[in-house]
């Protein structure tokens, strides 16, 4: 399927980010910390998106760097990608966990290039679109994809196994996701372009969080955007629809960082975290937050201890 159409507001936002990062005039350096809120040049300000997994990963990064004697500032729960990329641009944050495929799609007009879907291909393509002054370190084996998920009852009623199975019934169904899905390519625009899906209604909720899960379970929505590592899938016997057209690319976790903050200590510490992360252990530790209601900092500390990183 073609991915030539515009990704809308998401791409416009990150294009503006790229232009800002490449320079605002001879007397202005947008990557200079001296006038930013990101703290002193010797500290690293770490941000996260507004969902539990991103905050857990950011906390793991923070504690791993602190274990190396580095000063860390935490600015978690910033919001959707459009917001935290702006925070990276203006110097409010220096580092955050990202997902390679989603970042590539956000930075590429019309979504990721045709035929790019494997982790290595996505990582390679990402190098060509990263805003100047930023880079990504090694990616992990851990992957968390966007999914379209339904209850077992809905799957049985409409015979749903794949996203393509929604085509004849989408106009009868309500879909729920974060508000940004209305314009994000890996949201409603991509579902329409790649699969031809037009739903009865889009209900803006949260990014794969408790509002979306709750609405799915109480029937307020029929289809929800749920992250593949979410413990709610297993706990509630939800059905993740397969994605035969690969709208959702590889989504391996990796650190996105301002280049001026990269040195040997930072690189080795964060690469060690990436090497230790797997989809299985990320799902396990995330469940301790979502199901067992443990504190994020406590779970991050346990991860680093259990994997021998501290």
Q: Residues 21, 77: one domain? A: yes
Q: Residues 91, 153: one domain? A: no
Distance CA 182, CA 244 (A): 22
Q: Residues 157, 214: one domain? A: yes
Q: Residues 138, 151: one domain? A: no
Distance CA 182, CA 61 (A): 31
289 domain residue, yes or no: yes
The pLDDT, as a whole number, for residue 41 is: 56
209 domain residue, yes or no: yes
The pLDDT, as a whole number, for residue 32 is: 40
Distance CA 209, CA 243 (A): 21
The beta-strand segments (E) located in the chain are 43-47, 71-75, 95-99, 134-136, 146-150, 174-177, 201-204, 223-227, 239-240, 253-258
The pLDDT, as a whole number, for residue 14 is: 53
Q: Residues 137, 259: one domain? A: yes
3 domain residue, yes or no: no
245 domain residue, yes or no: no
42 domain residue, yes or no: yes
3-state secondary structure of 175: strand
Average pLDDT, consecutive stretches of 10 residues, N- to C-terminus, the chain (310 residues): 37 49 37 41 90 96 98 95 90 96 87 81 94 95 95 98 98 96 91 96 92 96 95 94 91 97 98 97 95 97 97
Q: Residues 157, 75: one domain? A: no
Tokens of 65: 């760097």
Distance CA 82, CA 299 (A): 27
Range of the domain at 80: 9-143+250-306
202 domain residue, yes or no: yes
Q: Residues 284, 298: one domain? A: yes
What is the DSSP-derived secondary structure letter of residue 298?
H
Residue of 169, 204, 211 lying closest to 188 (CA atoms): 204
173 domain residue, yes or no: yes
**Cα separation of the two ends of the chain:** 46
Check if the beta carbon of residue 87 is closer than 8 Å to that of residue 40.
no
Q: What is the pTM of this model?
A: 0.77
Q: Residues 101, 129: one domain? A: yes
1 domain residue, yes or no: no
**pLDDT tens, 198-249?**
999 999 999 888 999 999 999 999 999 999 999 999 899 999 999 999 888 8
Q: Residues 281, 214: one domain? A: no
The pLDDT, as a whole number, for residue 157 is: 98
Looking up residue 208, the CATH number of its domain turns out to be 3.40.190.120
Looking up residue 78, the CATH number of its domain turns out to be 3.40.190.10
Residue of 226, 115, 140, 244 lying closest to 177 (CA atoms): 226
| Domains in the chain, number | 2
Q: Residues 62, 207: one domain? A: no
Q: Residues 166, 230: one domain? A: yes
Q: Residues 160, 44: one domain? A: no
């Amino acid at each position: 399927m073609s991915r030539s159409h515009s990704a809308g507001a998401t791409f416009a936002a990150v294009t503006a980010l790229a232009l800002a990062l490449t320079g605002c005039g001879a007397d202005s350096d947008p990557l200079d910390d001296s006038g930013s809120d990101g703290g002193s040049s010797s500290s690293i300000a770490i941000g996260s998106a507004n969902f539990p997994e991103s905050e857990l990963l950011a906390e793991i990064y923070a504690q791993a760097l602190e274990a190396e004697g580095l000063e860390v500032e935490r600015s978690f729960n910033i919001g959707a990608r459009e917001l935290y990329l702006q925070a990276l641009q203006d110097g409010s944050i220096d580092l955050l966990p990202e997902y390679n495929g989603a970042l590539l799609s956000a930075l590429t007009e019309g979504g990721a290039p045709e035929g790019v879907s494997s982790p290595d291909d996505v990582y390679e393509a990402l190098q060509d679109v990263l805003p100047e002054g930023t880079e990504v370190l090694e990616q992990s084996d851990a992957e968390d994809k966007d999914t379209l998920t339904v209850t077992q009852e809905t799957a049985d009623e409409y015979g749903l196994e794949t996203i393509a199975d929604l085509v004849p019934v989408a106009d009868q169904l309500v879909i729920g996701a974060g508000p940004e899905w209305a314009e994000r390519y890996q949201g409603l625009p991509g579902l329409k372009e790649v699969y031809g899906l037009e739903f009865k209604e889009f209900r803006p909720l949260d990014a794969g969080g408790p509002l979306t899960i709750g609405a799915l379970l109480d029937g307020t929505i029929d289809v929800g955007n749920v992250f593949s590592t979410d413990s709610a899938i297993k706990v509630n016997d939800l059905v993740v629809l397969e994605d035969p057209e690969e709208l959702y690319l590889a989504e391996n976790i990796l650190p996105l960082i301002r280049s001026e903050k990269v040195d040997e200590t930072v690189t080795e510490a964060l690469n060690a975290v990436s090497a230790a992360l797997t989809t299985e252990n990320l799902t396990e530790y995330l469940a301790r937050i979502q199901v067992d209601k443990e504190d994020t900092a406590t779970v991050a500390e346990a991860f680093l201890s259990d994997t021998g990183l501290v």
